[in-house]
Amino acid sequence: MRRFWYLASLARKSAWNRRGTLALVVLCIALSTLLLLGIERIRGQIRENFVQAVSGVDLVAGARGGSIQLMLYAVFHLGGATNNMGWESAQRIAAHRDVAWTIPLSLGDSHKGYPVVATSPDFFGRYRFRADRRIEFTAGRAFDALFDVVVGAEVARKLGYRPGSPLVLSHGNSETLLAEHADKPFVVSGVLAPTGTPVDRALYISLAAMEAIHLDWQGGAPVPGFRVRADQVRKFDLTPKSITALLVGLKSRSRVFALQREIGGWKEEALMGVMPGVAMDQLWRMLDTGERALLLISALVTLTGLAGLASAILAGLGERRRELAILRSAGARPLDILFLLACEGVMLVFAGIVAGLLGLVLLLLGIGPMLAERYGIVLYFSWPGREECLLLGSIVAAGFLTSLIPAWRAYRISLSDGLTLST
């Protein structure tokens, strides 16, 4: 054991004396590790964010079309708008004998790039995320008055809103210049606690308020010569004509397939019911090829880094032949020389892995806030999981096998050279 630690110490000192050259090798391995683990970590955490963004919802009902598009737009506020479903259909689903509760959602407007979601007060009591966590308020309350608005945690933090703050909604969901509903301003009634889901990046108003701000609009533009003031809107029927989607919770989940078929077979309106878990599985299958391609590229980059490790050690053997010969004369055995070079290679791999992990931490800290702000995707650092440990173990094993190439070359040289250098 003492001989083992002595040779390991000797390998460390030898590598340190050539730190200028070997630092590039360590950097290459670090970048390879960062790329490999970064893709795996970001891929896994994005999936986790999507899966945990909504729970307890058995079906998402909406106009017939793409199931993934409906899920992404209605629940995650990503992508383009889908066709609306009629309010009468939503009421019919809510009154179904198998349905325990429903949450209507209506989208289309925005505020400074953040989506505006019209819904019912049940949203704040029924909506669940990350298994069974409820939405909570850090200040204020749910909307009560017609022009009350509840803002998500990120909206409040970025725009400095608190209960009582006035704001104006914009028509449409583009970040470009939009027509504003300036004649019907809103007042913040509550601020939601952070959830790490798209809820943080949205503003919530009542369905009646969504109808009220569009009374004098038609076809996506104000009606010329017709204007309804804020104090006049209550004279009109503010029952919604249509909504974007309906979140449905069932009394018994065993009835989900029956209700899904029933909704899809309605003749009155072309609707569909989407199971969130199934839609997410479809999305992952669509992205699976791209994910595998990225992992393959990362693996090839890692192999390139390991090839650089072998090349660097092999290139230095010519300058180290005298060093190895002196070690032989001091009593080192050929197997000691082989172990010395292999140990040096493994040390460089470990150094590269540690540097790669530190780089991953900095990467998550750097891009995490940007992804959270733009897409509501929360990235965080955690200790490597089982799959990541297998990846790291594979890199170490591959590094050890790669370092055996120059180690075997050094072993052969130490057998033939002795103290006399070849000419």
pLDDT surpassing 50 at residue 134: yes
User: What is the Cα–Cα distance from 312 to 325, expressed in whole angstroms?
Assistant: 20
pLDDT at residue 322, rounded to an integer: 64
pLDDT surpassing 80 at residue 133: yes
How much of the chain exceeds pLDDT 90, in percent? 30
Residue 374 has, within 13 A of its CA and on its CB side, a CA count of 7
Question: Do residues 210 and 115 make contact, with C-beta atoms less than 8 angstroms apart?
Answer: no
User: What is the Cα–Cα distance from 6 to 3, expressed in whole angstroms?
Assistant: 5
Convert the pLDDT of each residue in 330-356 to its tens digit: 666 666 666 777 777 788 888 888 888
pLDDT surpassing 60 at residue 80: yes
pTM assigned to the model: 0.72
β-strand 114-119 against 203-206: which pairing, if any?
A: parallel
| Closest to 54 (Cα-Cα) out of 143, 117, 142, 138 | 117
Convert the pLDDT of each residue in 185-215 to its tens digit: 999 999 999 888 889 889 999 999 999 998 8
User: What is the Cα–Cα distance from 51 to 200, expressed in whole angstroms?
Assistant: 16
pLDDT surpassing 70 at residue 74: yes
pLDDT tier for residue 179 given thresholds of 50, 70 and 90: confident
Cα angle 349, 350, 351 (rounded to 5 degrees) comes to: 90
Residue 60 has, within 13 A of its CA and on its CB side, a CA count of 29
Phi, psi dihedral angles at 106 (to 5 degrees): -135, 120
Question: Do residues 60 and 247 make contact, with C-beta atoms less than 8 angstroms apart?
Answer: yes
pLDDT surpassing 70 at residue 17: no
How much of the chain exceeds pLDDT 70, in percent? 80
Residue 140 has, within 13 A of its CA and on its CB side, a CA count of 24
